[in-house]
Structure 1
Amino acid sequence: MSKRRGFDIDFPETPDGVYTGGGRKPNAEEPARAPVPAGTRRGPMAAAISENAEALRDRAEVERAIREENDRLAHDYVRLKRAGLITDLVPIDAVLTTKLTRDRAAGPDPEIEELKASIREVGLSNPIRVEPVGDHYELVQGFRRLSAYRELYAETGDETYARIPAGLVASGEALVGLYRKMVDENLVRRGISFAEMAQLALAFARDPNTETTDIDEAIALLYASAGRQKRSYIRHFATLLEELGNDLRHAEAIPRKLGLDLVKRIGDEEGFAEGLREMLAGQGKVSSDYEVARLNDALKSAPKAGPKPKGASANAAAKTTLRCTVPAGTVRCAARDGKVELAMERDFSSIDRHRLEAAVAAFMSALDD
């Protein structure tokens, strides 16, 4: 079997007869050809190598430009997200309202129907604000808007209301900053009461995740945008809430003047706060108008005791607050004239009565040593 021979490829010569390369190699009997001048035609391999190098350079340049554009877009995204200007449609079921204590009292909202009607007709013009946390979102601003969307979805089943427009706040912002965002938006909202603002300040001071246990400092932090007079009113209502506690069912309905007068009477008259608590505890489930009327009647009643010495508790807000870390957790303590409060995440009602009594006795004994 004869060996298979390859084909010889001859490239055409130039008009002047100069060999330009390629094809079979000339043998010794062929006349010598002059060297190929620079800049004349290159062989196919050289051309391919050159073209590939140029393509690689072009590709590297394109990749560099893409990386720079991606970096710029990433920085812009973070900047806009921090400013709350990145908006997305988020599922209403994925939005939680547990991280921040809301400043609106629980209960029916008489204005929610108007908000729902507006959303049905023109949509939501002001998105809520949320902080992405894992696979869900923590609500920062827009509790009523979120409530309206949830009610609309429950009533209609329309998927339009299953997702709500939300501005995405950058994760990791300090808790006080998130509270300030919520508070400052609501300071200009009509209808929020001094009692609701005071309740938020009390919750902030009691929150173990915040840096303060002092109600005055909490009010100063949360309501820094408010005037001094408004902060003073909030402080007085905080005193009223501390004195009357859960027996006061409709604090948000108390007018400013009535609240201030009640706090003054509590500070001036021994036993007035105890009388109010007894009255409120025995009234059962009542309307806000009825409760406010009873508070007005109590305020008009004759004093049961002489006024306290001036300065003794004229300002019922005066107290000492501190935190104490124990093996079971963090204890928040508030002490004032005739009253000491200890609060922590623990069910004290589950402790045996005799052990609790012994602990109280030891506590009082340690104070007298």
Structure 2
Amino acid sequence: MSKKRRVFDIDLPVDDTPPAAAPSRDTKADARRGPMAAAVRETAESLNSRAEIEQKIREENDRLAHEHVRLKKAGLITDLVPLGKIRVSKLIRDRLSEGDDLTELKESIRAIGLSNPIQLEEADDGYFELVQGFRRLSAWREMKDETGDAEKWGHIPATIIAKGEALERLYRRMVDENLVRRDISFGEMAVLARDYAHDPETEAKDVDEAVSVLYESANKQKRSYVRAFAKLLEYLQGAVLYPQIIPRALGLELRKLIEEGLVLPETVIARIKAVPAPRSPEDELAVLQSFVSAAKPAAPKPTKEQKPRVAKTTFRLERSRGAAKVTASQGRLEVLLDCDFSAKDRHALEQALAEFLTKLEE
């Protein structure tokens, strides 16, 4: 009985040509499997390659997404945001806008652009809440209204921070920016501390605690001034419409006079409200100054005996052309010399005096 042939035994013709380099195992397998098997293998390899590429893309996308979140938390993502998408309702502003002149700020923006973008926090409804930059946003909106150019002024550069940051930190961001600029008044800081303390969303129990939270970066003396202004505004019960224009010395003195009983807050309130409408910042300031001036006793005029003596230095300077008597006092130097100075050449006289004064200042 003859031996049965196996299905895959193939008789190859004898070839006397020297064999070429041995093909790879895959090439041999493709030759044995035929065209269909090769096509299937190529398809599988292509799918594997595509899966590898897609996996790399997903990994890169994940990396970029994490980087975006990191930059946003750090406040380093900047974009052009439509003005209509920005709200200013979440934080009580520390800037009082009455009478605020934005002319210089607008001229600067027109000339060199907005060098410091405003800062926004994302909201859940697709809008943004303003954190920093109330005056910059106000100036930008005014320029859009004045020019009607929505294409140029309809979007404002803004740094976008991730939503969810604690309310206290958002207030600190706003406050610290103005503290650094040093142009915010104690009246404005006091108003913010008062409103912050009364806001049910915050945890401050009273104005003192609000000052400690909001102005932690300020020195102790400045926080003391803010508390004094807050107390003054509390005494005046909202009668003052322009607390931002009250000078530090005036506010501190008026608060002191009220607490010493030398000025009655009810009288100040009545005098302010008696000013005819419309009441200007200067009107209010004049009323407040009048109480401080009236409470201070007039300094008595010094008598002749009480007048302080003016210190003088007198000496005689011997010279070959005649002695000179010199008298020196505060702001005055007198030289008596037997000489007609009016006969001297004016240019020579000016030069001599200039050299003399220069020598004295050395």
TM-score (norm 2): 0.71
1:205 matched residue in structure 2: 197
Cα 1:14–1:74 shift into 2, 3 Å: farther
Cα 1:118–1:302 shift into 2, 3 Å: closer
**What does 1:285-364 correspond to in 2, within 5 Å?**
285-302=278-295
**How many Å apart are 1:256 and its aligned residue?**
0.6
**How many Å apart are 1:135 and its aligned residue?**
2.3
1:125 to 89, 110, 115: 115
Q: Indicate yes or no: 2:21 matched with 1:16.
A: no
Cα 1:39–1:144 shift into 2, 3 Å: closer
Distance in 1 between the 2:127 and 2:93 partners?
A: 18
1:108 matched residue in structure 2: 99
2:51 to 38, 46, 60: 60
1:366 matched residue in structure 2: none
2:74 to 62, 79, 83: 83
Contact 2:85/2:128 (CA < 8 Å) preserved in 1? yes
1:218 matched residue in structure 2: 210
Distance in 2 between the 1:185 and 1:15 partners?
A: 91
**How many Å apart are 1:106 and its aligned residue?**
2.7
2:260 matched residue in structure 1: 268
The alignment partner of 2:129 has SS state of: strand
**How many Å apart are 1:117 and its aligned residue?**
1.1
Distance in 1 between the 2:77 and 2:230 partners?
A: 36
Cα 1:60–1:294 shift into 2, 3 Å: same
Cα 1:44–1:209 shift into 2, 3 Å: same
Cα 1:299–1:270 shift into 2, 3 Å: closer
1:5 matched residue in structure 2: none
Identity of aligned residues (%): 53
Q: Indicate yes or no: 2:154 matched with 1:155.
A: no
Q: Over aligned residues, Cα RMSD in angstroms?
A: 2.2
**How many Å apart are 1:39 and its aligned residue?**
5.8
Which amino acid counterpart does residue 274 of structure 1 have in structure 2?
Answer: E
Which amino acid counterpart does residue 300 of structure 1 have in structure 2?
Answer: S
The alignment partner of 1:55 has SS state of: helix
1:235 matched residue in structure 2: 227
**What does 1:113-192 correspond to in 2, within 5 Å?**
113-133=103-123, 134-158=125-149, 159-192=151-184
**How many aligned positions are there?**
273
After superposing on structure 2, the runs of 4+ consecutive aligned residues of structure 1 that deviate more than 4 Å are: none
Contact 2:118/2:159 (CA < 8 Å) preserved in 1? yes
Distance in 2 between the 1:226 and 1:271 partners?
A: 30
Cα 1:15–1:162 shift into 2, 3 Å: farther
Distance in 2 between the 1:38 and 1:196 partners?
A: 81
Q: Which moved more, 1:263-272 or 1:162-171?
A: 263-272
Distance in 1 between the 2:258 and 2:98 partners?
A: 28
Structure 1 unaligned residues grouped into runs of 5+: 1-12, 18-36, 304-369
Distance in 2 between the 1:225 and 1:67 partners?
A: 44
Distance in 2 between the 1:172 and 1:118 partners?
A: 33
Distance in 2 between the 1:253 and 1:153 partners?
A: 29
What CA deviation, in whole Å up to 9, does each residue of 1:175-207 have, x standing for no partner? 111111100111112421001011011111111
TM-score (norm 1): 0.70
**How many Å apart are 1:16 and its aligned residue?**
3.2
Distance in 2 between the 1:71 and 1:183 partners?
A: 36
1:250 matched residue in structure 2: 242
**How many Å apart are 1:14 and its aligned residue?**
6.2
Contact 2:233/2:240 (CA < 8 Å) preserved in 1? yes
**How many Å apart are 1:38 and its aligned residue?**
8.8
Which amino acid counterpart does residue 285 of structure 2 have in structure 1?
Answer: V
Which amino acid counterpart does residue 143 of structure 2 have in structure 1?
Answer: L
Distance in 2 between the 1:167 and 1:290 partners?
A: 40
